[in-house]
Structure formats: structure tokens, C-alpha cells
Amino acid sequence: MVYIIVHTCTWLIMARYLIFSVVLIFFSGVRPISGKPNIIIMMMDDMGWGDLGIFGHPAKETPNLDQMAAEGVLMTDFYSANPLCSPARAALLTGRLPIRNGFYTTNQHARNAYAPQFVVGGIQDYEILLPELLKKAGYKSKIIGKWHLGHQPQYLPLQHGFDEFFGSPHCHFGPYNDKGTPNIPVYRDGEMAGRYYEDFVITKTGESNLTQLYIQEALDFITVETQLASPFFLYWVPDSAHQPHYASKHYLGTSQRGLYGDVVRELDDGVGQILSHLQHLGIERNSFVFFTSDNGAPLNAKADGGSNGPFLCGKETTFEGGMREPAIAWWPGTIKPGQVSHQLGSIMDLFTTALKIAGLSPPSDRIVDGTDLLPNLVNGTIDSAKPIFYYRGNEMMAIRIGLYKAHYWTWTNSLQEFEKGVNFCRGENVTGVMTHQQTNHTDAPLLFHLGRDPGEKYPIEQTTQEYKEVMPMIMRVVGNHKEKLVPGQPQLNMCDWAVQNWAPPGCEKLGECLPIPKSHPYKCSWPH
């Protein structure tokens, strides 16, 4: 299958990597297939369910992702574990809910929290990450893009199983003045290679070649590991779809959708290049590839944003628009082409599924929330009893089983924020469902049938036979979940300006170390 590839010239891609790739491909040819399948997880940042042509976006600007779906399985009911970036990423790599792995806060009730550079905490050593386990089966692992599980040295990827790292501990916020706040570093393995906006330029118009660097890094890694006949795990997590958006010069102004559309087109092209490269090397039938996003598209911006399709609200909320994600599984020769799956799935399932592909089992000394998706992806088997829990901070806000979703709590954001223009459900208003104060429905949860009502607009009346039959079953599942729940130590409670990226490892080699201010720890404040 030939993918649609757009060739670009990117002025900052280092020549040595291009030359290395060309020479290696020329001499290596098609490599023998390794016994263990390669695993590639592509997770986008803030990309919505409705951004893909295959999910109905009218612009139809994702030809490679649409082709990937045509050759694999399109999952229509796939979820994040949280409506925000850091907790979702921690959940994927541990296979555990953020409430278990510590990526939440107890400073306020039901607040979204993440890992900006002033947060003290990060992923703890007692959490076992996917690359640590895959290493036992001989896998080489690389993360390319956004980490977001802590930036202090003990939290960085190479301390948690990854062999290689090219990307950043954070999102590309900035630019900063390097006085009150330092510009965020980009790492090459264990040391910084520069900083955003200084060494890795993002202009005010949104021009940057970072995505092209991330694509080339992926192609190089695949080439090298194929030459070595080594099974590999590639965690490809570009962040250009997160505001402030950026795209390389070749893509700027090419989309009907503005800058965000330019971003989506470039990411789609990157997916196409990676899949084509697997085919060129003859390893596509020995490579499991999964595409998804970390949370729903944010709707706060009045323009230049993503789409969550027919679903209510967006990022930061536990309505469908905040947590239902685009998802495609691709494995030629193992996964039949042209399939559509309605199996409930979660990014935590990628942890267990990847282990199963590698011939491993999840750790037995802890609760792992992720389940194996292979029975569904390969054989079409449906687990109709599988629940999806919607957490916001330390609170279980909702649960889905089958086509039913019950909201135990509802909240978009505070009225004070809303009146200042912060709106996570812009253009939408569902009275009694969208609330600007934390509303407890535990005694009589709001129940929706997502088949009839995917937009969560019409709660099922409590007096109906349907409600009376469904809610006791849901309540039993929730009761069992909460009875066995042992929350992890919260990592997103404490902040300190002194822990910011003033002097990351390797800064002295670049002459980019900055003075570290005096430490003043304080409780982080999370507004929503």
C-alpha cells in the first residue's frame, strides 16, 4: 500500500541524521523479521475524536490516518484515563488509573492537575512503566516528544526504562524571559540539547520544524533497530496539536481549518511516513501500531482548535468530549483490515496489550486497570462487562458500562472562571447537566444511553423502568471499585519555583545554566 507522503525541506534537521539514515537503508535492505513484534504507540496531544476524516470531519485532511483505519481496526469507543495530559500519560505507561499511580491532587476536590515545571512531584520508582517490563523481553525503547511525568532528574524517561529520549519533559509553553521562569529544555537522552524558543525555534506565527525532527527521529530509530534485528518499542508523542500550535513552513496555510488544521495535516503525514517506512523495511507484518490522543480537544479557544465530533464539551471535563479519543490499531497480517470495533477501551489497555504482544504478563503485585485488547482486535471478541471510569483529580465523576453512562458528579468549571471567558464547553449549554459548581449526584446519578444520546443531553428519568434496572448494576460495579481502591501518594500537591528548569543536566556544556532561586515550597492551586 502506498501512503500519501509530502516531502518537506526543514532547515534545522541535522544533516548527520539524514546521511546516517540514507546510508543505513542503502546497505541494510530488507531485514529478517524478529521473533518478537515491534510496538509503536502514537499518542497525539489534545487531538479530538472528530478531527479525523474517518470519524466524519468534513475537511477530510487526514488521508494517511484514514488509510491506516482502512487497513486496521477503527475503535469508536476508546477513552483516556483523565481529561488532562500528565495523568493520561502516566496511566498509559503504568496501566493504572491516575488515582492509583499518584498523578492527581488532594489540594482541592475533583481538580485537574498536571506536571508543569514548577510542580515538585513526578512518576515514582515504585510504579513500573511499560519500557521497564519490555526491557526484560529484549526490547529497545525510545520516547520521542512530550514526556510530562516530571522533570527533575529522578523522574526523566531514562530513569524509568527508556533507552533513548528526544523531546521535552513538558509542553512547549513560552517564551519566557529566563528570569522569573526559564524556557523549557529539549533533551537528547539524559541531557538537554537546548531550550524551546532559543535553540528550538517556534515563531509567533506558529512556524517550527519540531514535528519534522520528531518524524526523522522515529524513522532513524526504526532503521537502526531493524538493522540490529532487535524488537523495539517506539513511544511517539509529538505535541504540536497542543496550544500554542506550530507546524513546519511547508504546511503553514495549507489547511481549510487554519493553523490547527496545518498541524493535523503534518501529523497525519508523519504517521504516513512511519507506516510507509515499516513497509519499506519489510517489517510491517511484525509491527503493532496504535494511534490515539491523550484527551479531548480543548474548546476554550474561540478559534484555531480541534473537534470532538458529536460529544459534549472537551478537555478538562469528564463528559464524552473530554475523554473519548480517536483510536486506530494497525498490524498487517494479524489484524484484519476494514474493521470497526465498538469495544470499550482505554489507553491503560495499551500497557497490558503491549505486554501480551511481547509475551509478558502485567505485574502481579498491584492492581493493573488495563486489559488485553488483542481478543477484540484480532478475533472481534467483545467484553461487554468492561467498565470505563471517568476520574477528575481525586474523584470518580462518572462510569460507563456498555452503552450506559452514569454521572456521579458534574462540573465544567467555576462560574467565576466562566464569567471571565474560560469555557470548556464553548457553544454548548445543557441545563442540569453542565454545571458551574461541583454537583453531587451520588444518591441518584444522571444516567445516559450513549447509543441514543451520544451528546449527553437527555438524562433517563429516574422513574423509568430502564433507570431502575440499570442503576443497581452500575452501583454494584462502582461499590466494588471503591471498596478495593487504594489511592497512591498524590504527586501534584506541591509546587516550588526553585525546581523549574533553571539548570537541567547538560546545561553547563551549552552554557545555558541559569541561577537557581531559593526554595519556597507551597501548595499548588488548581483552579479547575
Task: Enumerate the active-site residues.
Answer: 85, 148
SS3 (DSSP) at 345: strand
SS (H, E, C) 427-470: CCCCCCCCCCCCEECCCCCEEEECCCCCCCCCCCCCCCHHHHHH
| Torsions phi, psi for 79 (to 5 deg) | -130, 155
The HSE-up count of residue 291 (CA atoms within 13 Å, CB side) is: 27
Strand ranges in 190-310 using DSSP code E only, listed in sequence order: 191-195, 232-237, 287-293
Q: Please check whether residue 445 is in contact with residue 477, taking contact to mean a CB–CB distance below 8 angstroms.
A: no
Rounded Cα distance, 315 and 332, in Å: 33
Q: How far out from the chain centre does Cα 144 lie?
A: 13
- Which among 360, 348, 290, 294 has a CA at the least distance from the CA of 95? 348
Rounded Cα distance, 99 and 93, in Å: 14
Residue 368 grid coordinates: 493493573
Rounded Cα distance, 318 and 296, in Å: 10
Residue 171 grid coordinates: 509542553
Termini Cα distance of the chain: 46
Q: What type of residue sits at position 465?
A: Q
Rounded Cα distance, 139 and 474, in Å: 40
CA dihedral 69, 329, 75, 321 (to 10 degrees): -100
Q: Please check whether residue 441 is in contact with residue 409, taking contact to mean a CB–CB distance below 8 angstroms.
A: yes
Q: Using CB atoms within 10 A of its CB, is residue 371 exposed (0-12), middle (13-18) or buried (19+)? A: buried
